[in-house]
Amino acid sequence: METFKVVLVGETGVGKTSIISQFVEQTFQLDMQTTTGGSFSSKTLACDGGKLLKFEIWDTAGQEKYRSLAKMFYKDAKAVIMVYDVTREDSFEELQKYWYDQIKESSPENIILVIAANKSDLIEKEKVDEGEARNYAKEINALYVSTSAKNSNGINNLFEEIAKKYTGSTNVEIKEEEGETEPPEDDNNNVKIGKGKDKKEKKKGFC
């Protein structure tokens, strides 16, 4: 089984934690606690030929006083999901002005980039033109996926498309599993951030 590190970034309140919660635990909370520092979850996807990818999914803080810390999570990452809120134009602008530049500066050259247009269930309040967002994704060679953490639309597809791009697979299935998962240590044996159980538990970490 190959581990596959994925990092979610974006402004505070765009739904990064909710996306992960829906994907890993199939749950959604309106009063989700704001992430400070980072948190870790995992889930395994089965690809063509029986290849298993264990996604190590890292949630990061979007608040301005914390967001520079996201750089520490890019090391060894194979994909970064840039999340914006379709009802907040500023969240898309910051994705272009800040998050993309930070990723290009601090992540591996062959990183898989993904733009997640979250809160698609609020289409009547949409402030960001989908065509503009898709064109930007094409410009930076990123995947584009419309998601709703609230009703789960596009959530599984978001991670399946990443797995397909990485492996070249045409079919990807989410593997149901149980068991405790510990976040990995880095090469310098730094303190772990966050702790979780697959489909069971996820705790916040503080930096």
| Number of domains present in the structure of the chain | 1
Alpha carbons 56 and 41: distance in angstroms, whole number: 6
pLDDT digit string, tens, across residues 16-58: 999 999 999 888 876 655 544 557 889 999 998 889 999 999 9
Length of the chain: 207
CATH number of the domain bearing residue 115: 3.40.50.300
- 198 located within any domain: no
- 202 located within any domain: no
- 15 located within any domain: yes
- 18 located within any domain: yes
Which residue range is the domain that position 126 belongs to?
Answer: 2-188
- 204 located within any domain: no
pLDDT digit string, tens, across residues 148-189: 999 999 999 999 999 999 999 999 998 875 444 555 554 443
Structure tokens at 140: 């930076």
- 197 located within any domain: no
